């Protein structure tokens, strides 16, 4: 995969993790970094938007839904409002039992229900990044 | 009526009171239009005469003119300047200046003030006048006038409006009165019409003088319908002339004196349609209105001709008996006492009892003369000892013989010394009435035969040898004439009778030289008499022959009895036949009358359509029953005869059994006793029983006639109850029935008492003022109710089902369900509506309660769903982290990573996740245990300050992560008795909450020693709690903010509260949104087991 990424962009793909649970967020960032991704982290929706505004823009966003202050839905809404951000593909990482309609409406590339095998998640991220490229 | 200078400020209010008072007064007198107008006037004046508006009374003259009052038009014309009633304007006249007219005033009056009106204004020196027409049934029926004197400000438009409203109410009341009365009459008549019975029901409406006749007029009295006139006069004209004056006088008394519903009864003869006379019993009742005025007379005519005929025949028979007894030459008497005498007693004891208890009940003049009195009356009722001395040995012998021969003795010869020193001989017969082993009475006859025996000894059976005496002996004639008898003899050889002069006189024969005495005997009897005489002579026996004779001189027919015996010679050949002849014409006539009467009675009895029976006294056994009785009772004749009604079960009620027994003991005739009988098949029927004592087969009996009145009773009851029934139903149910009419205004014509139940207002008030209905409705519901009413009145809907609240006078609010159905007239226009208004407050409250429960349940379900979603999220989160940590560890090891610090961090992370899951599961178990009420305390003595410090230390890392500074303000020590583990949990939850919602600002923990109570406060400076959320945050699965933002089950505060309460403490919160919350935990110093 390193070949692909380098071939396409000549840089490591950037992943933004928006996740309120610190344990999940930290371990996921660590693993993704080891896999060669550049990782940005945000502890809630508002933090995520701040990250987007600060740049650099990620190639993929991993988004949790239930978060304090600003949840995933609100984040996605804001993201879609900004033309510069709206094209960034999104993978939902959710522990809830939300109705599928509501989630489908978010237009995510993939929806992953917690808990999830890390290998599966990594394959998904890799494919998503390749497709975006 | 505002406008006067001295009007009180609240004049508008008094106007309203006036209208209401007027309506109420009218409602009270609604039956009488004339009274309505009068009361209306009084009410107006009265209202204005009471303290609040006293000044108006003095200068107001309010007049209302009555409907149907012939003088109304005239009065109006006199007072209001020739204005025809129909054109009565609604206007205002100002006398001092130019007349100003109301726009509605017709042009012809606007053009010029009529001279009469001018005169009126001048005469009464009025400043202004209001004349308002009163309309009823779309016609002007009267006027309401108000005028005000000079020196007062004139009336203005407001007054005019008020006057209009008043007039409208008067009109409405008049109309209502008429409609109400018509309605009531119509209903009552309908009830009558549908109940056609065999009796002629009639209904006389005294206000219209109309009489409605029932259908039975044709069937029962043979009057074809088209010949019956609906007038009282027609009825009166057909009463028998002999009865008419009496009946009309009785009716007058009934009309004057009878109370409402009081029953009356008349008896008279009424002309049948076929010309005959029917004996009528007419029963009924009067109906009066609330003021006692006669409204109607209702009756039922029953044809009792058959019964009366029987009674008359009986009376005639009785008269015959009496005539016979009175006319009889023999002495006749009857002994009877209050108590019968038992026949099994020794003869002398019986005789003693007669003398002790019995009197002469009946006797005739002959009896009186025999004992030296003049008239029978002198002896009637006397003790028997008066004429039958107790110590007379002959009488004693007579009486003993009577008893010895079974209370029947014929021709016992009594010999008594007479006044002349000779002896008096008489033949005495006694006949006793024995029933049930007791002697009830004794009839006796006694014939003085002294003279006969002395002069015609040969003619008596005791002295046949002395029969040789010449019948024409000179000393006999006087005696014989006095006895209406004569002697005669016959030589069997010549067959020519020789009559004594006396006998010739009786027979009207010539005294001398009668060529053919046989001619005296009626031709049809002659051969028989002759044959019987010869037969008697041949048989050597006594003879007694009755025959008819024809007087030769007058041709009159008579009856004679001859009796005697023949003389025989030694060879046994009859030498002569002697005898006496007695004129028995009178007795015979009586006997024949009796026979006719018996036949008539038998026919009347047998063929009578009413059940008739003859019952024995005193047992009441049936001795005879007619066909109608057999039909009515359902028993056969054989089953009935010899049994008493009680034995047959004909009488069921104890009362009726009593009455029947009394009836048997009654000496006087009994009329129309109401009784309930039961047939063999068990059918109960009501009868009117009449009874009369008669003698039947020598026994005292009671003749009864029963008229089956079941059908009539039903009709009567139905009639009486029909009106009551509706009222009772209406009165006993809580729902209010209402009936309204629409033309020309909608108003209530009937509202049942149930109205009062729900509304707490009198239904009568509604009659006068239908707006009371809307005014009582809760303001929030009034528009809907009015709109619904409009729809009904206009016919937009045919049915309404409306719920609204009413406000009772005491302010209580009740829910009403009001369902009404529109009734249209023949042309389809809305005419009336009828409905039910029921108080559904209780139901409504129950509904509310149910709705609340459902809503609570829905909330609880939503909370549970929310919790499940949160729980899922909360449990998945640490599991995900756990998975990642472990998988990362595997990947690191696989990559050859051996740094113990790196691997140890992963393992620590994994272990931390397990801790998180365990804590979550623990709290769930905790809650489920608490919700099952299983919270028990493990009380120990410990220092609360120690607990708090320990807790704050343990929560340090979390506080660090939440970037909150936890500050502690505690006393040196605070020992007490609590459950350490539980209290730790509660405080932990409070602190965790403060960190979670504390927005990174400092959190204070303070502990206060308040003696027997300790207080712990946890204060954050975070988002706070909105007022509306505060009450529910302590419930299970509740949180003040969306679960999406903050982790946890929302159980923390619930658990904390349960723990504190289990300790006997309290947990409160004060909060300002945006500035933070303070949770205040109060605990008793020494907790006890809950």
* Cβ contact, residue pair A23, B1043, below 8 Å: no
Peptide bond into B1069 cis (omega under 30): no
At residue B302, what are phi and psi to the nearest 5 degrees?
-115, 130
Kindly give, in sequence order, each residue whose CB lies less than 8 Å from that of residue B14, ignoring residues fewer than 6 positions away.
B8, B47, B48, B52, B53
More confident residue, A78 or A97: A78
pLDDT, residue B138, reads 61
More confident residue, B363 or B135: B363
pLDDT, residue B326, reads 67
* Cβ contact, residue pair B869, A119, below 8 Å: no
Is a pLDDT exceeding 70 seen at residue B95? no
Is a pLDDT exceeding 50 seen at residue B318? yes
More confident residue, B734 or B221: B221
Check: CB of residue B347 under 8 Å from CB of residue B439.
no
pLDDT band at B398 (very low <50, low <70, confident <90, very high): confident
Is a pLDDT exceeding 90 seen at residue B733? no
Chain A residues with CB-CB distance to B888 below 8 A: 27, 30-31, 118
* Cβ contact, residue pair A24, B888, below 8 Å: no
Rounded distance between C-alpha atoms, residue B614 and residue B626, angstroms: 9
- Quote the percentage of chain B above a pLDDT of 90: 8
User: Strand pairing of B139-149 and B63-64?
Assistant: antiparallel
pLDDT band at B98 (very low <50, low <70, confident <90, very high): very low
* Cβ contact, residue pair A30, B888, below 8 Å: yes
More confident residue, B702 or B41: B702
Rounded distance between C-alpha atoms, residue A104 and residue A96, angstroms: 14
Burial class (CB in 10 A: 0-12, 13-18, 19+), B538: middle
pLDDT digits (tens, 9 = 90+) for B1021-1048: 988 887 777 766 766 555 544 444 444 5
pLDDT, residue B54, reads 25
Burial class (CB in 10 A: 0-12, 13-18, 19+), A10: exposed
Chain A from 95 to 114: CB within 8 A of any B CB = 95-98, 113-114
Q: Which two tokens stand for residue B307?
A: 């019964």
pLDDT digits (tens, 9 = 90+) for B561-584: 888 777 777 777 777 787 788 888
Instruction: Output the DSSP codes for B15-72.
Output: HHHHHHHHHHHHHHTTT-HHHHHHHHHHHHHHHHHSGGGTHHHHT---EE--TT-TTH
* Cβ contact, residue pair B884, A27, below 8 Å: yes
Calculate mean pLDDT across residues B82-95: 48
User: Strand pairing of B331-342 and B438-448?
Assistant: antiparallel
pLDDT, residue B518, reads 85
Is a pLDDT exceeding 50 seen at residue B7? no
More confident residue, B39 or B74: B74
CA geometry: angle B367, B371, B374, nearest 5 deg: 70
Q: Which two tokens stand for residue A90?
A: 């999104």
Q: Which two tokens stand for residue B555?
A: 């041709």
Using a CB–CB cut-off of 8 Å, the residues of B that contact A are: 868-869, 872-874, 876-885, 887-888, 891, 909, 912-913, 961, 1043-1047
Average pLDDT, chain B: 74
Check: CB of residue B250 under 8 Å from CB of residue B266.
yes
pLDDT band at B419 (very low <50, low <70, confident <90, very high): low
Check: CB of residue B996 under 8 Å from CB of residue B1046.
yes
Is a pLDDT exceeding 70 seen at residue B99? no
Nearest one of B464, B680, B451 to B564, comparing CA atoms: B464
Interface test with A, best of B1045, B1046, B1047 (most A CBs within 10 A): B1045
Residue B269 burial (CB count, 10 A): 20
pLDDT digits (tens, 9 = 90+) for B967-1026: 999 998 899 999 998 899 889 888 988 888 887 889 999 999 988 899 999 999 988 887
CA quadruple B200, B206, B208, B214: dihedral, nearest 10: -10
pLDDT band at B110 (very low <50, low <70, confident <90, very high): very low
How far is CA B652 from its chain centroid? 24
Q: Which two tokens stand for residue B268?
A: 């008279």
- Quote the percentage of chain B above a pLDDT of 70: 70
Nearest one of B292, B182, B65, B15 to B23, comparing CA atoms: B15
Of A22, A95, A118, the CB nearest to B873: A95
SS3 content of chain B, % helix, strand, coil (to 5): 45, 25, 30
Rounded distance between C-alpha atoms, residue B998 and residue B991, angstroms: 10
Give CB contacts under 8 A, 24+ apart, made by B741-745.
Answer: B741/B179, B741/B831, B741/B832, B742/B793, B742/B830, B742/B831, B742/B832, B742/B833, B743/B831, B744/B135, B744/B137, B744/B138, B744/B175, B745/B168, B745/B172, B745/B770
User: Strand pairing of B622-625 and B612-616?
Assistant: antiparallel
Is a pLDDT exceeding 80 seen at residue B78? no
Is a pLDDT exceeding 60 seen at residue B363? yes
pLDDT digits (tens, 9 = 90+) for B664-701: 877 777 777 788 888 888 777 778 888 888 877 767 88
- Enclosing H/E stretch for A77: helix A72-81
- H helix and E strand count, chain B: 34, 36
* Cβ contact, residue pair A98, B868, below 8 Å: no
Chain A residues with CB-CB distance to B879 below 8 A: 114-115
Calculate mean pLDDT across residues B330-351: 84
* Cβ contact, residue pair A115, B880, below 8 Å: yes
More confident residue, B756 or B97: B756
- Enclosing H/E stretch for A123: helix A118-132
Peptide bond into A63 cis (omega under 30): no
Is a pLDDT exceeding 50 seen at residue A3? no
More confident residue, B67 or B198: B198
Of A69, A97, A113, the CB nearest to B869: A97
pLDDT digits (tens, 9 = 90+) for B45-75: 333 333 322 223 323 334 444 334 445 455 5
User: Strand pairing of B1003-1010 and B966-969?
Assistant: parallel
Interface test with B, best of A66, A73, A92, A119 (most B CBs within 10 A): A66
pLDDT digits (tens, 9 = 90+) for A13-65: 999 999 988 889 999 999 999 999 999 999 889 999 999 999 899 999 999 98
Burial class (CB in 10 A: 0-12, 13-18, 19+), B728: exposed
pLDDT, residue B1008, reads 92
Rounded distance between C-alpha atoms, residue B62 and residue B45, angstroms: 8
The three-state secondary structure class of B824 is strand
Check: CB of residue B761 under 8 Å from CB of residue B776.
yes
More confident residue, B347 or B194: B347
More confident residue, B118 or B235: B235
Check: CB of residue B1049 under 8 Å from CB of residue B1021.
no
Q: Taking CB atoms and an 8 Å cut-off, how many pairs form between chains A and B?
A: 77
pLDDT, residue B75, reads 52
Q: Which two tokens stand for residue B146?
A: 């108000």
pLDDT band at B441 (very low <50, low <70, confident <90, very high): confident
pLDDT, residue B176, reads 58
Residue B416 burial (CB count, 10 A): 12
pLDDT, residue A81, reads 93
pLDDT digits (tens, 9 = 90+) for B116-167: 555 555 655 555 666 666 666 665 655 666 666 666 666 666 666 666 766 6
From B97-101, B142-146, B204-208, the region with the lowest mean pLDDT: B97-101
Rounded distance between C-alpha atoms, residue B411 and residue B427, angstroms: 5
Burial class (CB in 10 A: 0-12, 13-18, 19+), B845: exposed
* Cβ contact, residue pair B884, A65, below 8 Å: no
More confident residue, B129 or B442: B442
Give how far B1044 is from chain A: nearest CA, Å.
5
């Amino acid at each position: 995969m390193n070949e692909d990424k380098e071939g396409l962009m000549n840089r490591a793909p950037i992943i933004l993790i928006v996740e309120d649970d610190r344990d999940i967020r930290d371990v996921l960032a660590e693993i993704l970094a080891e896999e060669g991704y550049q990782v940005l982290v945000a502890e809630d929706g508002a933090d995520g938007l701040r990250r987007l505004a600060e740049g650099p823009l990620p190639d993929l966003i991993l988004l949790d839904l239930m978060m304090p202050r600003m949840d995933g839905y609100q984040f996605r809404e804001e993201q879609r409002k900004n033309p510069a951000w709206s094209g960034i593909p999104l993978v939902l990482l959710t522990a809830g039992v939300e109705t599928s309609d509501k989630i489908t409406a978010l237009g995510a590339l993939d929806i992953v229900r917690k808990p999830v095998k890390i290998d599966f998640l990594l394959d998904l991220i890799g494919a998503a990044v390749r497709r975006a490229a | 009526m505002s406008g006067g200078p001295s009007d009180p400020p609240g004049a508008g209010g008094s106007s309203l009171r006036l209208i209401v008072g007027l309506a109420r007064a009218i409602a009270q007198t609604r039956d009488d239009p004339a009274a309505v107008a009068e009361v209306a006037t009084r009410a107006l004046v009265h209202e204005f005469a009471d303290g609040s508006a006293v000044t108006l009374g003095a200068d107001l003259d309010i007049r209302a003119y009555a409907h149907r009052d012939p003088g109304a038009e005239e009065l109006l014309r006199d007072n209001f300047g020739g204005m025809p009633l129909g054109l009565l304007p609604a206007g205002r006249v100002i006398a001092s200046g130019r007349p100003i007219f109301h726009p509605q005033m017709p042009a012809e009056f606007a053009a010029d003030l009529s001279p009469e009106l001018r005169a009126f204004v001048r005469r009464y020196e009025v400043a202004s006048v209001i004349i308002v027409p009163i309309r009823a049934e779309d016609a002007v029926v009267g006027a309401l006038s108000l005028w005000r004197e000079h020196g007062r400000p004139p009336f203005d438009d407001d007054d005019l409006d008020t006057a209009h409203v008043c007039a409208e109410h008067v009109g409405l009341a008049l109309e209502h009165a008429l409609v109400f009365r018509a309605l009531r009459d119509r209903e009552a008549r309908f009830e009558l019409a549908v109940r056609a019975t065999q009796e002629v029901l009639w209904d006389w409406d005294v206000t219209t003088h109309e009489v409605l006749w029932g259908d039975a007029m044709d069937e029962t009295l043979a009057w074809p319908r088209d010949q019956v006139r609906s007038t009282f006069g027609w009825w009166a004209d057909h009463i028998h002339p002999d009865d008419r004056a009496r009946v009309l006088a009785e009716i007058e008394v009934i009309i004057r004196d009878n109370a409402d519903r009081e029953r009356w009864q008349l008896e008279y003869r009424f002309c049948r349609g076929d010309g005959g006379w029917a004996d009528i019993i007419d029963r009924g009742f009067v109906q009066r209105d609330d003021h006692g005025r006669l409204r109607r007379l209702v009756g039922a005519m029953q044809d009792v001709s058959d019964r009366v005929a029987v009674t008359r025949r009986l009376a005639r028979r009785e008269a015959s008996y009496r005539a016979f007894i009175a006319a009889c030459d023999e002495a006749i008497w009857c002994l009877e006492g209050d108590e019968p005498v038992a026949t099994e007693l020794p003869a002398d004891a019986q005789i003693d009892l007669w003398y002790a208890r019995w009197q002469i009940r009946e006797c005739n003049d002959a009896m009186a003369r025999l004992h030296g009195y003049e008239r029978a009356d002198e002896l009637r009722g006397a003790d028997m000892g008066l004429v039958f001395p107790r110590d007379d040995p002959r009488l004693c012998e007579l009486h003993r013989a009577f008893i010895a021969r079974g209370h029947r003795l014929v021709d016992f010869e009594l010999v008594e010394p007479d006044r002349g020193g000779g002896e008096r001989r008489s033949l005495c017969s006694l006949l006793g009435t024995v029933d049930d082993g007791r002697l009830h009475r004794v009839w006796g006859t006694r014939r003085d035969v002294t003279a006969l025996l002395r002069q015609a000894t040969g003619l008596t059976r005791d002295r046949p040898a002395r029969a040789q005496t010449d019948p024409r002996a000179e000393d006999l004639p006087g005696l014989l004439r006095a006895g209406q008898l004569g002697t005669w003899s016959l030589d069997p050889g010549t067959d020519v009778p020789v009559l004594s002069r006396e006998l010739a006189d009786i027979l009207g024969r010539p005294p001398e030289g009668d060529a053919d005495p046989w001619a005296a005997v009626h031709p049809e009897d002659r051969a028989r008499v002759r044959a019987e005489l010869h037969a008697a002579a041949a048989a050597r026996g006594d003879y007694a022959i009755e025959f008819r004779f024809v007087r030769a001189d007058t041709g009159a027919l008579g009856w004679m009895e001859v009796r005697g015996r023949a003389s025989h010679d030694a060879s046994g050949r009859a030498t002569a036949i002697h005898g006496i002849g007695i004129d028995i014409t009178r007795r015979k006539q009586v006997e024949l009358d009796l026979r006719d009467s018996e036949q008539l009675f038998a026919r009347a009895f047998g063929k009578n359509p009413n059940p008739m029976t003859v019952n024995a006294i005193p047992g009441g056994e049936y001795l005879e029953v007619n066909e109608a009785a057999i039909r009515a009772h359902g028993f056969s004749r054989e089953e009935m005869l010899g049994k008493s009604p009680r034995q047959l079960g004909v009488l069921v009620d104890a009362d009726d059994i009593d009455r029947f027994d009394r009836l048997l003991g009654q000496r006087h005739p009994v009329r129309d006793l109401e009784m309930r009988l039961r047939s063999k098949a068990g059918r109960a029927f009501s009868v009117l029983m009449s009874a009369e004592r008669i003698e039947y087969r020598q026994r005292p009996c009671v003749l009864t006639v029963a008229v089956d009145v079941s059908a009539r009773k039903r009709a009567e009851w139905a009639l009486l109850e029909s009106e009551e029934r509706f009222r009772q139903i209406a009165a006993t149910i809580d729902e209010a029935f209402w009936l309204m009419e629409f033309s020309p205004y909608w108003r209530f014509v009937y509202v049942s008492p149930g109205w009062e139940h729900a509304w707490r207002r009198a239904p009568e008030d509604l009659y006068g003022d239908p707006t009371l209905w809307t005014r009582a409705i809760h303001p929030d519901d009034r528009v809907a109710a009015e709109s619904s009413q409009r729809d009904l009145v206009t016919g937009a809907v045919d049915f309404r089902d409306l719920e609204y609240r009413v406000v009772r006078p005491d302010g209580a609010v009740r829910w009403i369900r009001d369902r009404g159905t529109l009734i249209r007239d023949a042309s389809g226009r809305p005419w009336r509506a009828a409905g039910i208004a029921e108080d559904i407050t209780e139901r409504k409250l129950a509904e509310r309660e149910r709705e609340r429960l459902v809503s609570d349940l829905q909330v609880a379900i939503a909370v549970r769903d929310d919790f499940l979603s949160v729980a899922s999220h909360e449990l998945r989160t640490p599991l995900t982290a756990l998975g990642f940590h472990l998988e990362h560890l595997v990947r690191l090891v696989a990559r050859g990573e051996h740094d113990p610090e790196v691997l140890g961090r992963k393992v620590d992370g994994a272990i931390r996740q397990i801790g998180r899951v365990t804590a979550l599961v623990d709290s769930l178990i905790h809650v489920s245990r608490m919700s099952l009420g299983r919270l028990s305390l493990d009380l120990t003595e410990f220092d609360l300050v120690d607990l708090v410090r320990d807790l704050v230390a343990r929560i340090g890392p979390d506080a660090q992560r939440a970037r909150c500074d936890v500050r502690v303000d505690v006393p040196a020590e605070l020992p007490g008795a609590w459950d350490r583990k539980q209290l730790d949990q509660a405080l932990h939850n409070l602190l965790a909450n403060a960190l979670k919602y504390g927005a990174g600002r400092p959190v204070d923990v303070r502990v206060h020693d308040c003696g027997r109570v300790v207080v712990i406060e946890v204060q954050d400076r975070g988002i706070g709690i909105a007022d509306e959320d505060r009450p529910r945050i302590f419930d299970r699965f509740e949180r003040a903010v969306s679960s999406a933002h903050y982790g946890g089950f929302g159980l923390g505060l619930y658990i904390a509260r349960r723990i504190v309460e289990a300790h006997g403490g309290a947990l409160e919160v004060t909060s300002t949104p945006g500035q933070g919350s303070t949770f205040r935990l109060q605990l008793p110093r020494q907790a006890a087991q809950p």
